[in-house]
Structure 1
Amino acid sequence: MLHFIMAMKKFFRLLRHHNMHRALIFVLIVIVGGSALLCYLEKNLTFFDAMWWSIVTMTTVGYGDISPATLGGRIVATIVMLSGIGLLGLVTATIAGIVIENRLLEKRGMKQTHIVDHFIICGWNFRGKTIISEMKVDPKCRKIPIVVIADVDELPEQGEHLIFIKGLVDRESLEKANAHAASAAIVLSDDALETYARDAKAILSTMTIKNHHPDLYTCVELMDPSNMEHCRMARADEIIVVGELSTNLLVQAALDHGITRLVSELVSNRYGHDLYKLKCPPYLVGKSFFRVMCDLKEKHNIICIGIEDASGTTLTANPDNDHILNENDFLMVISWDRPEIS
């Protein structure tokens, strides 16, 4: 009921904003006034029959089931027809204008959104399209909206559940993106700038996000590992250094041939097995890591490779066999699909 009342308030505010309320009031006056006059002049008509006739006449449907027989009734009918065509034409044109205006505002990134539990991408580069594709493949994010805040004239990527907000990452754009209700934010580097300037801009965007929305989980893309400390000071939750990651993979490829194919499979949602994070199921609490690993593989065909504590600050890859799992621990697993274990 509350949602209905809020929707009606928003609807009436929209009507007043576009001065549609006046046209609708005139339409209502014509319908009620024409029905009352027709009912008075045509003695064989009830008021509700006359109102039905007025609505049918104004909308130019004209069923012909009711028609005035007296001269006065026909004069009233003429007034209703002429005024109805003009007023309804005005209302229809205004509604069409509102729809077109909203579409243009959305395309230009000027429209505010009120969605919740969504993801925000701050900035845009050639990796943005791949990021969106990867997120949409995962069932967890397939129908979740993604809001892109970028200082471009038009977003190169188009698709369902994709919303564009034009501008820099500041308070205004974050409010338009409804950042306080978002699940996470990804900060991309600006490829149009030099390496140091890219990282500086990404760190500044992170500081802006954390200043206005300190609880929003923020993942930041950096180019230079020497800037990681500054990004941590900006309170980034996770930092991905693009150059360092690529370098490490190249080294591993040289030392252990073919291992990068496994890494590529695990970090891509589009094919093969993937890495997932899940809350420790109650029936595994208090068991050793070795027993948990064997149990998950035997019952669910899942490989557990690490454990994260409840605070999210300590991640242990391949813990000792006798490591005991706690109630609020998270498991890092390899699985074909996102596991749902209760």
Structure 2
Amino acid sequence: MVQHIYFRFLRWPLIMKLLLLIFGLIISFGIAVHYVEPKQFPTIFTGIWWAVITTATVGYGDVYPVTVKGRILGILLVLTGAGVVSAYFASIAATTIRIQNAAMKGTKMFTGKDHIIIVGWNGRSKNVIDQWLSLDKRQSIVLIDDTLDVNPYPTHQVHFIKGKASVDETLQRACLKKAKYILITSDQNENESHADMGSILILLAVKGFHPDIYCVVEILMNENVINAKRAGADEVIQTNAQSSYVMMNSLLSHGMSDTILMMLDHIKGNHLKYIPIMEEWNGKHFEDISSMLKEERKLLIGLKRGGETIINPPMHFHILSTDQLLVISN
């Protein structure tokens, strides 16, 4: 039994073992000095108080031993206790540095919940982090990337995980099962075909690990969009298609790119979003709901019905309770 307890004690963290040793020394010397010099130390607590002050090398001088035996106890306490206390604080400093280095190098496990996971470090993921933290400074974000050596966004809100997002061990360290959303960005170091294959592989690993998480994946080639949806993507961002549409609109209507970016920029105010249908709106005309929303400074431009998005429908178009309204809102 004693041997079992001893081996369990050896497995404790060094800080805990040192702290227990300090308490043991202080209590032991406090009790001993009380019995050696009962007049100077009338209670055990007084002896423990003296042991604490002596070990900490503060030396208030309110109580102190006067006999040879008491002073020998004091010498032994200084020689042993001060060394153990110094080792304890050195261990705390080393542990703190080790934890900080692990967080910077991406080897530390994330232990929070309701966080957002972003896969891949690039200009797009940096802008997403910038915008999200501007809207909600308390939101925790986990960045997964296997090409970086240190956290590229060293703030307490952004936790870096170094590793391949297609590996279960990496997803475990990112605490995927407690995350709210995950965004998989395209690998900028690969060609379009290989980048899409890599994104779909990560998507399969994510959905296999946590099937219910809302997953947004960036796909470059149009022919791979259907594969991403088959793999379980809740939403697919077609980067090349979206960029080409913006370019075409800029050619047809000069300055349109700035307008589109402003509508999509949540930081600058007005932005596109879907809002649910209220019960009293069911069956009403598009024109009636548009007038009501204008009073709330929301511009109704379309709706989403099933998998179809309808932009600028007829004014007498009937709205159903299952629809989602597309508005420009602040």
Distance, in Å, in 1 between the alignment partners of 2:161 and 2:141 is: 11
Q: 1:313 to 1:72 in 2, by over 3 A?
A: farther
**Aligned residue for 2:318?**
323
For residue 18 of structure 2, the aligned residue among 16, 23, 27 is 23
Distance, in Å, in 1 between the alignment partners of 2:64 and 2:299 is: 78
Query: Do residues 108 (structure 1) and 105 (structure 2) align?
Result: yes
Distance, in Å, in 2 between the alignment partners of 1:74 and 1:305 is: 88
Distance, in Å, in 2 between the alignment partners of 1:206 and 1:228 is: 12
Q: 1:195 to 1:79 in 2, by over 3 A?
A: same
Query: Do residues 245 (structure 1) and 245 (structure 2) align?
Result: no
For residue 145 of structure 2, the aligned residue among 150, 170, 182 is 150
The residue identity in structure 2 corresponding to 1:209 is V
Q: Which moved more, 1:284-293 or 1:200-209?
A: 284-293
Query: Do residues 161 (structure 1) and 157 (structure 2) align?
Result: yes
Deviation, structure 1 residue 28: 1.7
Deviation, structure 1 residue 236: 0.8
Q: 1:155 to 1:20 in 2, by over 3 A?
A: closer
**Aligned residue for 2:270?**
273
Residue 276 of structure 1 aligns to a residue whose secondary structure is strand
Distance, in Å, in 1 between the alignment partners of 2:111 and 2:123 is: 27
Query: Do residues 86 (structure 1) and 78 (structure 2) align?
Result: no
Distance, in Å, in 1 between the alignment partners of 2:133 and 2:312 is: 30
**Aligned residue for 2:299?**
303
Residue 123 of structure 2 aligns to a residue whose secondary structure is coil
**Aligned residue for 1:3?**
none
Q: 1:48 to 1:315 in 2, by over 3 A?
A: farther
Aligned residues of 1:203 and 1:230 also touching (Cα < 8 A): yes
**Aligned residue for 1:33?**
28
Q: Which moved more, 1:96-105 or 1:120-129?
A: 120-129
Aligned residues of 2:104 and 2:154 also touching (Cα < 8 A): no
Q: 1:331 to 1:67 in 2, by over 3 A?
A: farther
Aligned length in residues: 318
Q: 1:333 to 1:42 in 2, by over 3 A?
A: farther
Q: 1:120 to 1:271 in 2, by over 3 A?
A: same
TM-score after normalising by structure 2: 0.88
Q: Which moved more, 1:39-48 or 1:18-27?
A: 18-27
**Aligned residue for 2:192?**
195
* Percent of paired sites with the same residue: 31
Distance, in Å, in 2 between the alignment partners of 1:119 and 1:154 is: 19
TM-score after normalising by structure 1: 0.85
Aligned residues of 2:204 and 2:232 also touching (Cα < 8 A): yes
Deviation, structure 1 residue 302: 1.8
Residue 191 of structure 1 aligns to a residue whose secondary structure is coil
Distance, in Å, in 2 between the alignment partners of 1:121 and 1:16 is: 36
**Aligned residue for 1:118?**
115
Residue 127 of structure 1 aligns to a residue whose secondary structure is helix
Unaligned runs of 5+ in 1: 1-12, 337-342
Distance, in Å, in 2 between the alignment partners of 1:200 and 1:116 is: 29
Distance, in Å, in 2 between the alignment partners of 1:51 and 1:285 is: 76
Distance, in Å, in 2 between the alignment partners of 1:143 and 1:112 is: 19
Distance, in Å, in 2 between the alignment partners of 1:118 and 1:14 is: 36
Deviation, structure 1 residue 112: 0.6
For residue 94 of structure 2, the aligned residue among 77, 83, 97 is 97
Cα RMSD (Å): 2.4
**Aligned residue for 1:263?**
260
Aligned residues of 1:277 and 1:331 also touching (Cα < 8 A): yes
Deviation, structure 1 residue 282: 6.0
Deviation digits for residues 26-45 of structure 1 (CA, Å, limit 9, x no counterpart) = 21221111111111122232
Distance, in Å, in 2 between the alignment partners of 1:247 and 1:257 is: 15
Distance, in Å, in 1 between the alignment partners of 2:10 and 2:179 is: 30
The residue identity in structure 1 corresponding to 2:155 is G
